[in-house]
């Protein structure tokens, strides 16, 4: 897959899933990366920084009965990336 067509990213925070809009020039986020999301805080939409605490790849769920699947190795095609995030409060 070329860099101009990324698979979608989803951030998970407080039980909610939110699309992550990454500029094409931004590297793919990993654990420890900072991303910005628009969230509802105290009844007001705010754009805030979040730190990525975990990253998982979603697959198409293809359930092949091949040897790799029996060994616990997922052979499905990646369809999205899930990011667990926490509000980033940098020390001043």
Question: Is 22 within the bounds of a domain?
Answer: yes
Residue at 32 is within a domain: yes
Provide the pLDDT for residue 59. Answer: 79
Name the residue with higher pLDDT: 92 or 42. Answer: 42
**DSSP at 69:** H
Q: In degrees, to the nearest 5, what angle opens at C-alpha 13 toward C-alphas 57 and 44?
A: 140
Domain count, the chain: 1
pLDDT in tens, 10-65: 999 999 999 998 888 888 999 999 999 999 888 999 999 999 999 998 877 655 55
The answer to the question of residue 4 being in a domain is no
Residue 22 in contact with residue 29, Cβ under 8 Å? yes
Query: What is the pTM for the complete model shown?
Result: 0.74
Instruction: Provide the domain limits for residue 43.
Output: 9-87
Classify residue 62: in a domain, yes or no.
Answer: yes
Residue 20 lies in a domain: yes
- pLDDT at residue 3 is higher than 50: no
pLDDT band with cut points at 50, 70 and 90 for residue 83: very high
List, in sequence order, the alpha helices (H) in 1-92: 67-70
In a domain, 3, yes or no: no
Spatial CA neighbour of 55 closest among 73, 88, 81, 78: 81
């Amino acid at each position: 897959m070329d860099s101009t067509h990324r698979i979608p990213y989803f951030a998970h925070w407080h039980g909610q899933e939110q699309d992550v809009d990454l500029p094409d020039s931004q590297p793919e986020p990993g654990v420890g990366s900072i991303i910005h999301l628009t969230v509802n805080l105290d009844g007001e939409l705010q754009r805030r920084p979040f730190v990525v605490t975990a990253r998982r790849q979603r697959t198409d769920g293809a359930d092949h009965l091949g040897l790799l699947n029996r060994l616990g190795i997922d052979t499905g095609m990646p369809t999205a990336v899930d990011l667990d995030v926490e509000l980033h409060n940098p020390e001043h």
